[in-house]
Amino acid sequence: MDSSNTIKEFFENQGGIKMELNTISGLAIAGVICSVVLSMGVPIALFIAGRVKLKARISSFFIGAGTYLLFAMLLEQLLHVLVIRFCGLNAQSRPWLYYVYAALAAAVFEETGRLIAMKFWMKKWLDFPNALMYGIGHGGVEAILLGGLSGISNLVSMLMINSGAMQNTLAALPAESANQTVSQLSALWTTPAPLFFVSGIERISAIILHIGLSLLIYRAVKAGKYRTAAFTAVLAYGIHFIVDFFAVAGPALLPIYVIEIGVFVMAAGTLVMALKMGRMEEL
């Protein structure tokens, strides 16, 4: 490891275990800052635009956010715990089966939540602007949680490592806990710096996708014919599955940059298709 861009901090902890922390490059820190700004700033900007330009209800945003928290962060995670604990299915034991399961679970829980929210909780005021605002809430809270808050946590750790504060904190921990922490932190200096910019781009793609899928479910709920409604709903479920499967399985076969470009293209294509299927005069 090149000593010109790293600072080796060695210290002896209980049990004589040696640990090493390396400095974080300025480019990596800039990438995290950029991702945090995108992950938190874009949802806020879209929320303001939806409210001011489209006159959408604020409640539609929070219903979208709440539905994501309920169906994706609570119910879906409970299923994952059961599947992993009782079936032993994970990415290490049976990777491709796990990829299919993970993508299918995400599609089923999130699209079902979207369908329930629009059909029942937003029934009295469901229209194009509010369906779009729902998508901003759904994708926005995901971006804030997965990209914004986690990015802030990484940024704090990076600054603590570079300032030496992290070394002092680790020195006060038992050896086992300190080494586990160092192992977790190691991704901050082993990950190529440009990849830290990817997180923000990934969140933008996810927001675009969730807006597009929300508009598809909106069209399904508003469709007068059962066949049209069923086709549009199944289309939303299918697109969600394909995009998620590509995102989770892709790293096994393709470079991360190719995956992110592919996800962005599919997300943008979903939004364009949903807009063409929708009633543009409602804008």
Q: Does 104 have pLDDT greater than 60?
A: yes
Backbone angles phi and psi of 9, in degrees to 5: -110, 110
Minimum mean pLDDT among 26-30, 124-128, 170-174, 242-246: which range?
170-174
The amino acid at 38? L
The amino acid at 107? A
> What token pair was written down for 2?
């090149």
> What token pair was written down for 134?
């729902």
Tens digits of residue pLDDT in 32-78: 999 999 999 999 999 999 999 999 999 999 999 999 999 999 999 99
Q: Can you state the angle between helices 198-222 and 226-249, rounded to 10 degrees?
A: 170
Instruction: Give the model's pLDDT for residue 267.
Output: 98
Q: Does 16 have pLDDT greater than 70?
A: no
Tens digits of residue pLDDT in 106-134: 999 999 999 999 999 999 999 999 999 99
Please give the share of the chain, as a percent, with pLDDT higher than 70. Answer: 91
Beta strands in the chain (DSSP E): 9-12, 18-21
Q: Cα 211 from chain centroid?
A: 14
Nearest-angstrom CA–CA distance, 46 and 144: 13
User: Closest Cα partner for 200 from 34, 44, 52?
Assistant: 34
User: Closest Cα partner for 215 from 109, 137, 132, 281?
Assistant: 132
Confidence category of residue 5, pLDDT binned at 50, 70, 90: very low
Cα separations in angstroms, 272 against 144, 162, 208, 235: 24, 44, 10, 14
Tens digits of residue pLDDT in 212-250: 999 999 999 998 889 989 999 999 999 999 999 999 999
Asked if 243 and 209 count as a contact pair (C-beta separation under 8 A), the reply is: yes
Nearest-angstrom CA–CA distance, 26 and 33: 11
pTM for this entry: 0.89
Count of beta carbons in the 10 Å neighbourhood of residue 224: 6
Nearest-angstrom CA–CA distance, 164 and 213: 46
Q: Give me the count of residues in the chain.
A: 283
Asked if 259 and 251 count as a contact pair (C-beta separation under 8 A), the reply is: yes
Nearest-angstrom CA–CA distance, 111 and 242: 13
Instruction: Give the model's pLDDT for residue 19.
Output: 57
